[in-house]
Chain A
Amino acid sequence: MPYLSGLLNSKIVDSTDEVVGKLKDVYIHPRVGEYAPLYYLEIKPLHKKHSVFVPYNFVENFSKEEISLKTVFSKIPTEHVLPDHYLGLSHYVMDQQIVDMVGARVVRVNDLRIGDFEDKMCVLGIDVSFSGLLRRLGLTFLDVFKVLKVNLIDWRKAQPVKGVLKLDMVAKELTHLHPADLANIVEDLSIRSGSKLVNSLDAESAAKVLEEIDPKLQKLLVHQLTPEQTTRILTKMSVDEVVDLLKGLPDEEGQTILSYLQNGKLKKIKKLLHYKDDTAGGLMTTDYIGVKPDWTVKQAVKEIKKNFDIMRSILYVYATDENEKFLGAVSMRWLLISEPDLLIRDLLKEVSPSSILHPEQPVRDVINVMTKYDLNMAAVVDENNKMLGVVSIDDIMRHLAPHA
């Protein structure tokens, strides 16, 4: 089975054994999760300036030893331009960055492995190894003892991130990866490809990935997106993450994005924007599940189910009175074991006032309180005991290790 590097620039003969030209490129029409059959050869005919495209079904033999055509070259209906959805392997895949979905990393294409698959000549694998590099350089003889191994990535498990490939197809496959892995991939790509990739994901996955990305890079990626694209993703992000992101952007850009957000979220965000990063107010999110004391456990569970998809972690539900004053919290554990008809009021326990946070409290205080009372989440209230939001262990970890 040949490598593309061994085929490019080879002579091509037709059925009369006449040399008709040189192979310039090979075109495919990629589909996600499939080996890509070859559709056209780009041939530069002898003594001519412009290359032409020969449909692959006129190819008799396609190997390192010989590339030959089935008929006389002049009889073949060649094309001079190809539609955009065809992808030139040499132009758009060789030397470019691709995402290796098994290893969840970004690599560069050193060579491409071509071979038969179900009676069709297809691109089967991507060589990302050092020996592929040597082959391209014509330096294979350096590997005297044959110690270098070829490292092929299955074509179906790789995603080009540049070129004419439809990006919504890419996205489907990629969403199988963990958001943290995807975030690492985006960090490794050039910023332009990275933002393209983020934008190609569905809003929810994009939001998750963006939340995992280094804050500095987050800012850069957002620069590359239009305000509409950014908004699409931001509406799926939790309020506190949006606030952190907006804080990092220049005023003007932040304002534009704010103006695109819908009202409900906007109010929450504007409120949070006032707090400093390293205070309880800056760390907290306003996404929490609020319940009323006269609700039953069943009603509370229904409320959780309703909000399930927009909140990442639900550990407690928070009870407030009709004036939004904080009454207490009930853990998921208790909701799970309690009778459905029981009232929330009866599950609430006495809360020590010092375990409740205030927005201006510095992060040190927050950590002390949460450690002392063994809290995974702590409620934040204002001076009138009105509930503002919650700080989670997650928020604190992210604050302490922003680059992880």
Chain B
Amino acid sequence: MAWLKKLSPRLFLFLAVIGPGIIAANADNDAGGITTYSIAGAHFGTKMLWILLLITFSLAITQEMGVRIGLVTRQGLGGVIRENFGVRWTAFAMLAMLVANLGTMTAEFAGVAAAFEIFDVSKFLVVPLAALLIWLILFKGSFKTTQKIFLIFSCFYIVYIINGFLIKPDFGQAVKDMVTPTIEWTTPFLLTMIALIGTTITPWGQFFIQSYVVDKGLNLKQYKMEKLEVFIGAFITDIVSFFIIISTAATLYKYGIHITDAKDAAIALRPLAGNLAQYLFAFGLFSASMLGAFILPTATAYAFCEAFGWESGFNTTWENGKFFYGIILLSLVLPALIVLLPKISLIKIMILSQDVNGILLPFILIFVMKIINDKKIMGEHTNKPIGNIISWCTIVGIIAATIILVVSSIVGLN
């Protein structure tokens, strides 16, 4: 890369920090992500695009805060919470993250099952196999290489962008919907809306980006470049989300087709891939699910061990690392079992798990906000007013939506 350094120093500086933002953002579009965006488009057309536009800013801002806390404290989020809020709040935060992550893992396995359903392969075969494969690779294989492979696979999202142009959607309507907030006071709409937020900004994403920055060893001098990377990452993710939504809006919503399984969602890719659409979708769903399923168990276990001072890493013995291995096993076995329940709707799992993420997100974000505005922790790197406004709006927005959802389901608005 020496030649690049001479040729274009700025580009070199940027490439040196690349990773955290893009990877975190890309991994956001996992099984739960694809499903939620597909459903948002198929069931409600382009009506939710305004939310997508708003949460793009929220995603950028919240991820940037994670980066900043990581750079200043040089610790993961779990460790920072423990050292500043004590053990009770830590237990609370970690429990919230655990539940959210178990939900997401369930979505990933549901994604694997749904992908193979297209080929008529039983979930009772593929889900245990996938769990076993992940366990083996985590133990014996190269985590990094595997992560890269699935990351490259998940570039399949580009097909949605091409597809989005091929179907010649009504871009005018899309832009109009993007700037005019519309809300339906129905349970399905609110559920989808919270899932949309919860799949884009996630509790684990907050933990993940902070640890990534610390592990990659970026320093404060690289902050500006890293910030740019995070913003670009957020933008790219939501561009993809945008095209998934308009693709399903133009193909499914238009004809009133509701998504009940992966085959329905795959119809959206017909304009590009024709009869191959199903296979293309299955491949994309599978690799996206596997990428998430690889990252999540270890990320969860590391965060717990950091917060509670347990030994971690794959080179510890079973005796010393019982919590570390225990959490990894738990996040593989329990979600796999849930997916294997007979007659459970895979699509519902995928979207409801994102709701769980969305509902738990504000709790994690409040910790992030307390930390980032604490001068004792952050020194001169506390938040600017604009960051605070956007973050608090996100938090209040989700909480309000959740309350309305709960009330509406009790009163039975639907």
Residues of A within 8 A of B (CB): 94-97, 105-110, 128, 133, 136-137, 190-192, 216-217, 219-220, 223-224
Contacts and interface: CB of A to CB of B under 8 A. Distances in A.
Contacts of B83: 95-96
B88 A136 contact: yes
* Top 5 closest pairs, chain A to chain B, by CB: A108-B309, A191-B74, A220-B217, A190-B75, A136-B87
Given A95-B86, A133-B87, A106 B309 contact: yes
Contacts of B74: 190-192, 224
Contact of B91 (A96, A107, A137, A191): A137
A388 B351 CA distance: 66
Nearest to B87: A136
B86 A97 contact: no
A97 B309 contact: yes
B79 interface: yes
Interface in B300-359: 307-309, 311
Interface in B71-86: 73-75, 79, 82-83, 86
Nearest to B2: A251
Nearest to A191: B74
A191 B214 contact: yes
B219 interface: yes
A219 B219 CA distance: 11
A190 B217 CA distance: 12
Given A108-B308, A190-B75, 12 more contacts: A94-B86, A95-B90, A106-B309, A133-B91, A133-B308, A190-B73, A190-B74, A190-B79, A191-B214, A191-B217, A192-B73, A220-B217
Contacts of B73: 190, 192
A191 B218 CA distance: 12
Contacts of B82: 95, 108
A156 to B, nearest CB: 20
Interface in B197-233: 214, 217, 219
Contacts of B214: 190-191
A110 B79 CA distance: 13
Contacts of B90: 95
B219 A223 contact: yes
12 contacts: A95-B82, A95-B90, A96-B83, A97-B79, A105-B311, A106-B309, A108-B82, A133-B308, A137-B87, A137-B88, A192-B74, A192-B75
B88 A216 contact: no
Nearest to A221: B217
Interface of B: 73-75, 79, 82-83, 86-88, 90-91, 214, 217, 219, 307-309, 311
A202 to B, nearest CB: 24
Contact of B87 (A97, A107, A110, A192): A110
A107 B217 contact: no
Contacts of A109: 309
Given A216-B217, A219-B217, A223-B217, A107 B309 contact: yes
Contacts of A190: 73-75, 79, 214
Nearest to B316: A105
A348 to B, nearest CB: 44
Contacts of B217: 191, 216-217, 219-220, 223
A128 to B, nearest CB: 6
Nearest to A110: B87
Nearest to A137: B91
Specify which of A97, A110, A216 lies most central, judged by the most chain B CB atoms within 10 Å of its CB.
Answer: A97
A7 B74 CA distance: 32
B145 to A, nearest CB: 15
Given A94-B86, A96-B83, A128 B309 contact: yes
A217 B217 CA distance: 8
Nearest to A162: B83
Nearest to A107: B309
B232 to A, nearest CB: 23
A107 to B, nearest CB: 5
A220 B220 CA distance: 12
A183 to B, nearest CB: 13
A306 to B, nearest CB: 39
A194 to B, nearest CB: 9
Nearest to B311: A105
A219 B75 CA distance: 16
Max count, chain A CB within 10 A of own CB: residue among B82, B83, B214:
B83
A362 B177 CA distance: 63
Scoring A106, A137, A217 by chain B CB atoms within 10 A of each residue's CB, the highest score goes to A137
Nearest to A195: B74
B186 to A, nearest CB: 40
A95 B87 contact: yes
Contacts of A224: 74
A100 B66 CA distance: 30
A178 B82 CA distance: 30
A192 B379 CA distance: 15
B162 to A, nearest CB: 38
A133 B307 CA distance: 11
A136 B311 CA distance: 20
Nearest to A219: B217
Interface centre among A128, A133, A224, by most chain B C-beta atoms within 10 angstroms, is: A133
A248 to B, nearest CB: 10
A195 B74 CA distance: 11
A296 to B, nearest CB: 49
A191 B214 CA distance: 8
Contacts of A219: 217
Contacts of A128: 309
B262 to A, nearest CB: 40
Q: Which of A95, A128, A136, A216 has the largest count of B CB atoms less than 10 A from its CB?
A: A95
A216 B219 CA distance: 14
Nearest to A190: B75
A110 B86 CA distance: 10
A106 B320 CA distance: 12
A96 B81 CA distance: 11
A58 B90 CA distance: 35
A381 B91 CA distance: 61
Contacts of A216: 217
A108 B305 CA distance: 10
A252 to B, nearest CB: 10
Contacts of B88: 136-137
B291 to A, nearest CB: 23
A192 B217 CA distance: 12
B120 to A, nearest CB: 44
A181 B165 CA distance: 59
A232 B219 CA distance: 22
A94 B88 CA distance: 12
Contacts of A136: 86-88
A136 B308 CA distance: 12
Contacts of B75: 190-192
A97 B311 CA distance: 12
For A96, A110, A190, A219, which residue has the most chain B Cβ atoms within 10 angstroms? A190
Contacts of B309: 97, 106-110, 128
